[in-house]
Amino acid sequence: MSSVKVNYLGHSAFSIEHDGTTVLIDPFLTGNPKASADAADIKADAILVTHGHQDHLGDTAAIALRTGAPIATVVEIAAELADELGTEHPIYDPNIGGTIDFDWGWAQWVPAWHTSTTPRGTVNTPAGIVINIGGKTIYHLGDTALFSDLALPGQRHSLDLALIPIGGHYTMDRHDAVRAATLVGAPLVVPTHYNTFPPIETDASAFADAVAAEGNATVTVLDPGQSLELQ
Ligand code: NI
Ligand code: MN
């Protein structure tokens, strides 16, 4: 089985590639000072969105219109996007706990402790997303505070990678994120949602050192534009 490539696009945005399929997550590129890709030419075969804040919903509608990629996101955001894009555009509308099956794998929406309203004013419940592609399982925590149920996805699924916010202010900080890494239980962690704006500046290498000291996981710090491969 060929490897799964995880590309960090900056902030909370990732693209995951396997066998010619590209899954885009939280594509906030336009207006993102750390974005490593351009919404006008990025590839997407599916777009998954954790919640409706602009720094996650981002360029979802524009990329979906250009590429035809289906969107999957929590039901209230999905309804707003259906209004915006037209009902002929493929949009999946899970709620928390729901799983959507794709021809490339599946994605499950799981709880996150956060708030969310879209830029257009639609209130929605934020989520994390557990993504299975190419035999690998990746848990994108979305925006969340530390809470004990972060351990639950890893009790059902064998996780290969967790994408954990560390910037503080709007999410858990890097100290709580060390505890989150232990709760989640993935062997590999990539920090997200930091250094994009002044309120979320933090020290990713200090986070990596603290996780290493706990002895439960390895941290790979990716700069925007960098990627890792899950073999
Ligand atoms: Ni948010
Ligand atoms: Mn955010």
pLDDT in tens, 155-207: 999 999 999 999 999 999 999 999 999 999 999 999 999 999 999 999 999 99
- Torsion angle in degrees (nearest 10) through CA of 141, 40, 102, 78: 70
Span from the CA of 116 to the centroid of ligand 1 (angstroms): 6
Span from the CA of 158 to the centroid of ligand 2 (angstroms): 26
Span from the CA of 229 to the centroid of ligand 2 (angstroms): 25
* Ligand showing the shortest atom-to-Cα distance for residue 200: 2
Domain boundaries, the chain: 4-222
Asked whether the beta carbons of 42 and 27 are under 8 A apart, the reply is yes
How far, in Å, CA of 70 to CA of 37, rounded? 20
pLDDT mean over 133-159: 98
* Ligand showing the shortest atom-to-Cα distance for residue 167: 2
pLDDT digits (tens, 9 = 90+) for 12-67: 999 999 999 999 999 999 999 999 999 999 999 999 999 999 999 999 999 999 99
Q: Does residue 100 surpass a pLDDT of 90?
A: yes
Span from the CA of 157 to the centroid of ligand 1 (angstroms): 25
pLDDT mean over 69-81: 98
Q: Does residue 223 surpass a pLDDT of 90?
A: yes
Domain 4-222 annotated CATH 3.30.530.20: no
Q: Does residue 147 surpass a pLDDT of 70?
A: yes
Q: Does residue 1 surpass a pLDDT of 90?
A: no
Span from the CA of 119 to the centroid of ligand 1 (angstroms): 11
DSSP string, 92-116: E---TT-EEEETTEEEEEEE-----
Span from the CA of 59 to the centroid of ligand 2 (angstroms): 14
Span from the CA of 28 to the centroid of ligand 2 (angstroms): 10
Span from the CA of 221 to the centroid of ligand 2 (angstroms): 18
* Ligand showing the shortest atom-to-Cα distance for residue 114: 1
Q: Does residue 210 surpass a pLDDT of 70?
A: yes
Band of the pLDDT at 2, cuts 50, 70, 90?
Answer: confident
Supply 91's token pair: 């949009």
How far, in Å, CA of 229 to CA of 153, rounded? 22
pLDDT of residue 190: 99
* One-letter amino acid of 48: L
Span from the CA of 2 to the centroid of ligand 2 (angstroms): 32
pLDDT mean over 109-120: 98
